[in-house]
Amino acid sequence: MCPGVDFVRPRVREMSGYVPGRQPAPGVKVIKLNTNESPLPPSPAVAEAIGGLLENPDLFRRYPSPASSSLRAAAAAAFGCRPEEVIAGNGSDELLRIIVDTFVETGEEIAYFHPSYSLYPVLAAIRGAESRALPLFADRGELYIPDEEQLAGVKLFFLTSPNAPLGFSFDNGYIRRLAESFSGVVVVDEAYADFAETNALPLVGELDNLIVLRTLSKSYGLAGLRVGLGAGPAEIIAELDKVRDSYNLDALAQAGAVAALEDRAYLEKTVALVREEREYLAQGLKELGFTVEPSQTNFIFTIPPAGMVAERVYLDLEKAGILVRWFADPALEHGLRITIGTHLEMAAVLAAIRKMINGD
């Protein structure tokens, strides 16, 4: 045993790290529908912008813009807010970490609904904070606003909207009531909001305890570039800025992200394709007897019919070269999360499941 490990903080030694979905090695041929990436490459403007930088490598001697200034301006234009109300992160995962580190002292608490994004408790544990997981639905299966007692002492509430992995959105009436009744800060994690019919950006500027997070990993096809964005009150953004690394986004990511944000037509094309294929997959699965949760995202959560076991379907799809996500969590183990891919990929999923059912 390495003696240095004894010096690791006990909280870190005891915790399990976040487990991302599998990323097969480059060149391995699979249909990859397990981490909600885009079926399309990013806008061609991204490669052009990055290519422009690569032609002049002398630029890389210099540090990039510490505040990602052009990116904040482009994001503010896209979000309809002011640049000082925007922060950029190395993926929205980094912004989540910055938020926890900014607001939560050791021993304090964060809260979130379960099921939602399983990174929140991991970030809290790293910070030495506690996590409170509240059930997503009340007794009769309806949404509810957590009451004072449920949120007593909680500093941050993470609301994943649209919910992952179930796929439905919280409307702005709900989010406003949650923020107004909560004495801490609400973080609306909108990783999938570009695919949805509603989003909380209009509430930025209205509520002083709300932060909205976006990512370029899904709708912009830029998971590999690692760019997340946050919008919230300028005073909160200024505090988050103190906590992030001085140069948290490299020059390539900043240039590529600006180009992506400015190509609105390309985003609209991607969203339209995903919505169309989402409908195609959902219909096909329903015809095969699956239950499909209504989705506002680029994935669907689906439950196999009686006689089929979700974990088995996941493993059989894997054997057929199709990676989807199955969660060994009592709240989710009855279903599968399938990322929306191209038409051919969706047809391949349906054909593989049809084969499992018919045995031919």
Burial 317-342 (b: 16+ CB within 10 A, else e): beebebbbbbbeeeebeebbbbbbbe
- Cβ contacts of 72 within 8 Å, gap of 6 or more: 83, 86, 87, 88
Do residues 159 and 178 make contact, with C-beta atoms less than 8 angstroms apart?
A: yes
Smallest separation (angstroms) from ligand PLP to the CB of 299: 9
Q: Cα separation of 178 and 176, whole Å?
A: 5
d(CA 14, CA 32): 32
| Choice between 158 and 182, CB closer to ligand PLP | 158
d(CA 86, CA 212): 9
Min CB(77)–ligand PLP separation in Å: 20
Answer for the pair 157, 182: CB distance below 8 angstroms, yes or no.
yes
Minimum gap (Å) between residue 170 Cβ and ligand PLP: 13
Cβ nearer to ligand PLP, comparing 124 with 223: 223
Looking up tokens 């997981």, which residue turns up? 133
Contact between residue 333 and residue 326 where contact means Cβ atoms under 8 Å apart: yes
To the nearest 10 degrees (0 to 180), the angle between helices 264-287 and 251-262 is 80
Q: What is the crossing angle of helices 251-262 and 44-54, to 10°?
A: 150
Which CB sits closer to ligand PLP, 68 or 353?
Answer: 68
- The answer to whether 317 and 310 are in contact (CB under 8 A) is no
Nearer to ligand PLP by Cβ, of 284 and 296: the residue is 296
Question: From CA 220, how far away is CA 41, in angstroms rounded?
Answer: 8
Site residues for ligand PLP per CB under 6 A: 36, 91-93, 117, 160, 164, 189, 191, 215, 217, 223, 228
Measured from the CB atom, the residue of 284 and 335 that comes closer to ligand PLP is 335
Residue 81 CB, nearest approach to ligand PLP (Å): 19
Chain centroid to Cα 321, Å, comes to 25
Measured distance CA(170)–CA(146) in Å, rounded: 14
Residue 194 C-beta: closest distance to ligand PLP, Å: 12
Which C-beta is closer to ligand PLP: that of 71 or that of 191?
191
Please choose, from the candidates 287, 257, 267, 260, the residue with its C-alpha nearest in 3D space to the C-alpha of residue 349: 287
Q: Which two tokens stand for residue 125?
A: 């544990």
CB nearest ligand PLP: which residue? 91
Q: Which two tokens stand for residue 328?
A: 């060994």
Task: Pick the closer one to ligand PLP by CB: 180 or 197.
Answer: 197
| 24 or 51: CB nearest ligand PLP | 24
Closest distance between ligand PLP and the C-beta of residue 36, in Å? 5
The CB-of-98 to ligand PLP minimum distance in angstroms stands at 12
Q: Which tokens go with 47?
A: 């490669």
Cβ proximity to ligand PLP, 339 vs 353, nearer residue: 339
Taking the complex as a whole, the smallest distance from the CB of residue 212 to ligand PLP amounts, in Å, to 12
Strand pairing partners for 291? 303
Q: How far is the CB of 224 from ligand PLP (least distance, A)?
A: 10
